[in-house]
Every structure is written in C-alpha cells, then in structure tokens.
Amino acid sequence: MNTKELILTQEEVNEETSSRLITWNDDFNSFQWVIQSFVTVLKHTHDQAEQCAWIIHFKGRYAVKHGSLKELTPYKDALADRGLSVTIETD
C-alpha cells in the first residue's frame, strides 16, 4: 500500500487553518467605541457587539470572529487602525 505525504507550505497552512480574531481589554477605548467598531468593521449586530465588549471587559480577551487567517487579517488591520488591541490566534 502506498502512502502519500502531504506537505503544506507555511503560506498554505496560514490560509487554510482555522483562526480566531482576539480582541483584548484595554484602559483607553470606551465601550461605545468598541461596540461601534464591531458593528462597523465586523458587521455584528449592536447586541452581539455589546455582548463581545462585556466579555472582553470581564475576561480580558475574546474571540470576536472566526475564519481563516486570510479572511481575518483585514478585520484585524481595520480594528487596529481604530485603536483596538487585536491579534489572530491559529490552531
């Protein structure tokens, strides 16, 4: 029986791997600004954005969106441009 090995380049792994957009709590962005940013950038409903903001406030961080690295990078950049502390974690 022949077994094929699948070797993925780092680029392929990054584009395909399940990732999470993490927003971190900070002391300088207001709740309203964070909520508005999630609604504008992530297209969350107001209620979703508010729930995310509260979780971030109490837990220190929260995965506000899931997807591939390729999908999440523009969201990360847009939220960072608005002054939010954001990172992407990959499985």
Residue 85 C-beta-side C-alpha neighbours within 13 Å:
13
- Kindly indicate whether the domain formed by 17-90 is annotated with CATH number 3.30.70.920: no
- The alpha carbon dihedral of 45, 47, 53, 58 has a sign of negative
Total-model pTM: 0.81
Q: What does each of the 91 residues of the chain score in pLDDT, given as a tens digit?
A: 444 444 445 555 555 679 999 999 999 999 999 999 999 999 999 999 999 999 999 999 999 999 999 999 999 999 999 999 999 999 8
Phi, psi of 82 (to 5 degrees): -90, 5
What is the C-alpha separation between 4 and 13, in angstroms, rounded?
18
Domain assignments of the chain as residue spans, ordered by start: 17-90
What's the confidence (pLDDT) of residue 17?
A: 72
